[in-house]
Amino acid sequence: RSVACCQIIDGIIADHPATHAALPLAGLSLAVLRNYMEEGMDDAVANAYAETLSRLSALGARLTDIRIPDIEALPAVNGTGGFAASEAWAWHHDIIDRAAQDYDPRILKRIRRGEAMTAENYLALLAARKSLIAAVAPQTAPFDAVLAPTCPLTPPAIAEVEDEREYNRINMALLRNTAVFNFLDRCSISIPCHRPGTAPVGLMITGENGGDGKLFAVARAVEAALA
């Protein structure tokens, strides 16, 4: 329910606490990633996000708009299925052979994409990831963290995802932004930034690879500002 709770769980999983000195919001240098991450935002997300950025700026955070064109290659890079499909298939294929009927058909379809992936596809993914990490790192290094909407859409109604094509569109949109930093091997945390009583919207704050401690410190400062 809080950044502090997440930090406790992170410490348990990592077997050591991620520590960093507390940081005041005023003076933090925060990059606002404008390209790719903001595409297709619905009005609720766009309004809550803009209001949140304004509040952080008014409280002394130094916000800088940035664009990272490199990340726009990710849909093509993951075109054969990506790490999720290949690694999920490696883990599940024996069970699927015995009990495919027990899987959610929509999830099973995504896992089966990994069945068609070759060793060449997987090695190409690893190479692309290494290259993209190297390209993005110097662009975000000057900042304490990177900001983006966690998802471009608010949660859909069940009726909205009954149609298969619409389900696929919405599902991919909801996964898109967090997938960027998963691919880049970064740590991120999402903080609620919507007004009470409105549809949930998240502010995603991202740190450097292995920078969990500092990320938690930044997130605590942002969380306090938005409380």
Model confidence over 26-45: pLDDT tens digits? 999 999 999 999 999 999 99
More confident residue, 38 or 18: 38
**Domain range 3-73+133-226, CATH class:** alpha beta
In the chain, domain spans: 3-73+133-226
Q: Specify the 3-state DSSP secondary structure of 63.
A: strand
Q: Give the global pTM.
A: 0.93
Q: Looking at the predicted structure, is the pLDDT value of residue 224 above 90?
A: yes
Q: Which residues pair with 149 in a beta bridge?
A: 203
Contacts of residue 184, defined as CB under 8 A and 6 or more positions apart, other chains included, come to: 71, 129, 132, 133, 136, 209
Mean pLDDT of the chain: 95
Closest-CA residue to 16 (of 180, 150, 212)? 212
User: What's 137's DSSP letter?
Assistant: H
Across residues 158-164, what is the average pLDDT? 94
